[in-house]
Amino acid sequence: MIEPIIEAIAEVRFFSPRFVEQPVPIGPVMAMFGSQFPNLEETAAKRVPFELRGADESFRFAATYQMSNSNSRILLGDRSVAFTSTEYGGWDNFKARLHETVRPIIEMFEAGVTRVSVRYVNLLSGDGVKKQLARTKVLFPFDAIGREPSSFQSRVDFRIDDLVLVLQVATNVEAKRGDSAEVMQGAVIDIDSILEKRFEAWAEVEDGFERVHALERDTFFKLLSSDTISSFKPVYHG
């Protein structure tokens, strides 16, 4: 059974008094991580003037630069930094790489962390909407309509104590894993788990990541059919 996670994204949002009136510089980050992430690109958000990015909620935390290698990326914005990978390899592995990249950037910018999140994009392969959803516990009365569905999409947001959970399900999605040429089709279960607060020390950030990861992992397994869960053992690295 193939690992269902096709991309894992961990994001830290921050505030730095040094960069209130100017954008964060990419040069020091490239100097620190350029050998590991040699490909540098500007994103579409970079073309928006700095002052407008700060005033617009949709751009305030958007990445302006992307540094990448064959399977991982660092996404850097005026108030955010994220680490993403298409080769997950289990939480302990992903967590170690996350802290090795994100923490030095936060410390270099002398920034305070205001939010952490973990987002996993999972693909459950299958032919047709009904078969794809049958691998989950997501129910919809298609038979009552009397037609074969061509696609299905749903988004639900939850607040669970001090955490926010954003759950999206979509069928008949085509995706590739990393640099693989193989195109896979199936249902995507996209789960974003978020904790927003003022973090006083990096130990609190680490604890926050543990909490959002645990919520994401538990939610994912609650959404799966028993047959799907059995097919993952022992391959799934939650």
pLDDT in tens, 167-181: 999 999 988 776 677
Q: What is residue 221's predicted lDDT score, i.e. its pLDDT? A: 93
Predicted TM-score (pTM) of the model is 0.92
Q: Which burial class, exposed, middle or buried, applies to 60 when counting CB atoms under 10 A from its CB (0-12, 13-18, 19+)?
A: middle
Residue 161 lies in a domain: yes
Residue 238 lies in a domain: no
- The mean predicted confidence, pLDDT, of the chain is 92
The parent domain of residue 146 ranges over 5-232
Residue 52 lies in a domain: yes
Answer whether residue 236 shows pLDDT above 70.
Answer: no
Backbone angles phi, psi at 13, to 5 degrees: -105, 145
Residue 86 lies in a domain: yes
Rounded to 5°, angle at Cα 44 from 98 and 104: 25
Residue 131 lies in a domain: yes
Residue 115's nearest CA partner among 42, 63, 193, 4 is 193
Residue 225's nearest CA partner among 135, 143, 144 is 135
pLDDT in tens, 9-53: 999 999 999 998 899 999 999 999 999 999 999 999 999 999 999
pLDDT in tens, 143-152: 888 888 899 9
Give the helix/strand (H/E) hosting 58. Answer: helix 57-60
User: Domain tally for the chain?
Assistant: 1
Residue 237 lies in a domain: no
